[in-house]
């Protein structure tokens, strides 16, 4: 078989790898966390992200209610907790307690961040798009909290040391072999 032979399927929500983000929503007193794979950066200046959430999910009204959320990136050692937060509903389970997460306050939002995650984005919704199955919450990233241990003496963030978790087509992966730095091909 020709190695580049392709099979054509109808349209499908397929891409990867993506960050399986732990999204905290609600309030400091009554927070909830859900895992969202449909997230990413949509703008650099000002920095903006999005999360796409089904209106049926318990967290939808929490995000919609406060207009705030935090995106917390898990490490590969947090795969189990990440899966729990994407599988169980906050309507029936205190997932933060079940996962043993430590919450710490947001600095620009009323929503807390997950201390165990090496990178947390504090976000405020600026726009909401109903696209069909999901509603896309587009949000400005007001502040980021990074694990101090990842910042070197020059103030540079060494995010590769965090060991971030990846999600691709229903499977979780650790990041593996480094293939290069941006711009390496033209140096």
H/E stretch holding 166 reads: strand 165-168
> Which whole-number Å values give the CA distances from 6 to 3, 15, 45, 100, 159, in the listed order?
9, 16, 38, 45, 35
CB of 135 to a copy of itself, least distance (A): 9
Q: Which is nearer to a copy of itself, 62 or 95 (CB)?
A: 95
Between residues 27 and 79, which has the closer beta carbon with respect to a copy of itself? 79
Q: Please work out, in degrees rounded to the nearest 5, the angle formed at the alpha carbon of residue 149 by the alpha carbons of 51 and 36.
A: 15
State the nearest-atom distance from the C-beta of 62 to a copy of itself, in Å: 20
CA dihedral 100, 105, 107, 109 (to 10 degrees): 90
Nearer to a copy of itself, 125 or 146 (CB): 146
Question: Minimum distance between the CB of residue 27 and a copy of itself, rounded to whole angstroms?
Answer: 20
Cβ of residue 92: shortest distance to a copy of itself, in angstroms?
A: 12
Show Cβ contacts of residue 98 under 8 Å, excluding neighbours closer than 6 positions: 84, 88
Q: Which of these, 172, 170, 171, 152, lies nearest to 160 by C-alpha position?
A: 152
| Sheet of 21-26, strands arranged across | 31-36, 21-26, 68-73, 119-130
To a copy of itself, the closest distance from the beta carbon of 115 in angstroms equals 4
Residue with smaller CB distance to a copy of itself, 125 or 144: 144
Q: In whole angstroms, give the CA distance from residue 57 to residue 60.
A: 6
By beta-carbon proximity to a copy of itself, the closer residue of 29 and 171 is 171
Q: Count CB neighbours of 64 within 10 A.
A: 15
């Amino acid at each position: 078989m020709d190695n580049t032979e392709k099979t054509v399927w109808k349209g499908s929500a397929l891409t990867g790898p993506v960050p399986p983000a732990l999204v905290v929503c609600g309030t400091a007193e009554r927070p909830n966390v859900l895992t969202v794979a449909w997230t990413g950066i949509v703008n650099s200046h000002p920095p903006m992200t999005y999360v796409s959430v089904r209106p049926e999910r318990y967290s939808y009204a929490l995000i919609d209610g406060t207009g705030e959320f935090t995106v917390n990136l898990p490490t590969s050692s947090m795969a189990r907790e990440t899966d729990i937060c994407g599988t169980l509903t906050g309507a029936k389970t205190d997932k933060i307690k079940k996962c043993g997460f430590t919450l710490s306050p947001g600095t620009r939002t009323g929503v807390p961040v997950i201390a165990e995650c090496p990178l947390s984005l504090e976000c405020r919704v600026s726009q909401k798009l109903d696209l069909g199955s999901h509603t896309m919450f587009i949000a400005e990233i007001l502040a980021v909290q990074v694990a101090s241990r990842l910042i070197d003496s020059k103030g540079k963030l060494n995010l590769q040391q965090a060991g971030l978790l990846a999600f691709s087509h229903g499977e979780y992966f650790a990041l593996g072999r480094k293939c290069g730095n941006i711009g390496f091909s033209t140096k």
